[in-house]
């Protein structure tokens, strides 16, 4: 039994294996396998979700598990029950709990303080680890490797950017650069951890707060929507700060072969133009589909039910 609450919960071997396993699910190399037959998965989302909730629900069913879905008003957490007690009770009835709270990840750590039920972070305020696994699975499927890729992230240093920074910097030769609006960058904790990963693995990591002197010869350009789920911005003029960080076709002049990624939902005309999102470079909707394949890899890994640790390269 394993938990996935942060990308940093994974060993380097786990991270690589989950990416490869997700790619194998994407290639339908595991058709008919039902390693979670007889298991019960709880799907608890206190915030809105289209892709992640559908991915884990569909993925669990495809692997043979049955699911119980909970909405934001369904748990006794709303009446004052402690997170620890909720976790202890649910662990007597579920094999895995997939949860989105957009709050403090300490709540998920409290649910994980038992020895029966796996807990998966489907997004908290600080990090979106299953999104990063989706992103790496998508890049791996496209390029056949993560090592040595050159990736530019443009936009807010939100939970998606945080998880991506903590994941990409653990692959040798990766060059990962973020361009985030002033005052909306990665937290100091994430920057420190990502820089440490990069140093240890021979990757390059940099964050800048303007759009000057952008790198060229990129393999991928990534953005996410400006208004992160479950959050609001205190600055009434924040759109003016974000406006220079819109992803437009001009970014492809120096990187004509780059692919475009977006964690969706997208707001055309805000963080990205329609020309880019709906253009030939965009693999954002393949990326969305890979949420399910990554979810399947995570569920299988959490319960120790499959071969992810020794997964061969596809």
> What is the per-residue pLDDT across 35-64, written as a single tens digit (0 to 9) for each?
999 999 999 999 899 999 999 999 999 999
What's the rounded mean pLDDT across residues 18-27?
A: 95
Predicted local confidence at residue 232, as pLDDT: 79
Indicate the helix (H) or strand (E) that contains 161. Answer: helix 159-168
Query: Going from the N-terminus, what domains does the chain have, and what CATH number goes with each?
Result: 7-127+292-304 (3.40.50.1370), 130-287 (3.40.50.1370)
Question: Cβ(177)–Cβ(153) under 8 Å?
Answer: yes
CA distances from 108 to 87, 101, 102, 114, 282 (A): 9, 9, 11, 11, 34
Q: Residue 47 has what DSSP assignment?
A: S
What's the rounded mean pLDDT across residues 210-219?
A: 97
What's the rounded mean pLDDT across residues 151-158?
A: 97
Structure tokens at 83: 């997170």
Structure tokens at 100: 């989105």
3-state secondary structure 208-259: ECCCCCCCCCCCEEEECCCCCCCCCCCCCCHHHHHHHHCECHHHHCCCCCCE
Give the pLDDT confidence of 192-208 residue by residue, as tens digits.
999 999 999 999 999 99
Check whether 147 has a pLDDT greater than 80: yes
Check whether 288 has a pLDDT greater than 80: yes
Check whether 287 has a pLDDT greater than 80: yes
* pLDDT category of residue 220 using cuts at 50, 70 and 90: very high
Check whether 165 has a pLDDT greater than 50: yes
């Amino acid at each position: 039994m394993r938990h996935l609450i942060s990308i940093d919960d994974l060993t380097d071997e786990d991270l690589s294996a989950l990416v490869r396993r997700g790619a194998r699910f994407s290639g339908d190399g595991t058709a008919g396998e039902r390693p979670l037959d007889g298991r019960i998965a709880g799907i608890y989302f206190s915030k809105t979700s289209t892709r992640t909730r559908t991915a884990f629900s569909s993925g669990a069913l495809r692997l043979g598990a049955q699911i119980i879905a909970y909405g934001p008003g369904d748990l006794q957490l709303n009446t004052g029950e402690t997170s620890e007690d909720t976790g202890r009770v649910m662990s007597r009835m579920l094999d895995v709990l997939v949860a989105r709270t957009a709050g403090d990840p300490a709540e998920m750590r409290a649910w994980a303080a038992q020895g029966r039920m796996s807990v998966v972070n489907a997004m908290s305020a600080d990090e979106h680890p299953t999104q990063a696994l989706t992103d790496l699975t998508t890049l791996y499927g496209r390029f056949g490797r993560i090592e040595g890729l050159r990736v530019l992230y443009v936009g807010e240093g939100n939970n998606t950017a945080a998880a991506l920074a903590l994941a990409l910097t653990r692959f040798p030769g990766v060059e990962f650069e973020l361009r985030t609006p002033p005052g909306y960058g990665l937290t100091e904790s994430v920057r420190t951890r990502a820089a440490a990963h990069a140093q240890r693995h021979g990757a390059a990591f940099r964050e800048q707060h303007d759009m000057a002197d952008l790198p060229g010869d990129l393999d991928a350009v990534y953005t996410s929507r400006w208004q992160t789920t479950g959050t609001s911005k205190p600055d009434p003029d924040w759109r003016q700060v974000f406006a220079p960080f819109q992803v437009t076709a001009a970014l492809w002049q120096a990187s004509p072969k780059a692919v475009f990624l977006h964690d969706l939902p997208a707001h055309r005309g805000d963080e990205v133009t329609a020309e880019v999102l709906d253009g030939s470079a965009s693999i954002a909707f393949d990326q969305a589909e890979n949420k399910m394949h990554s979810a399947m890899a995570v569920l299988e890994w959490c319960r120790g039910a499959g071969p992810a640790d020794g997964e061969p390269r596809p």
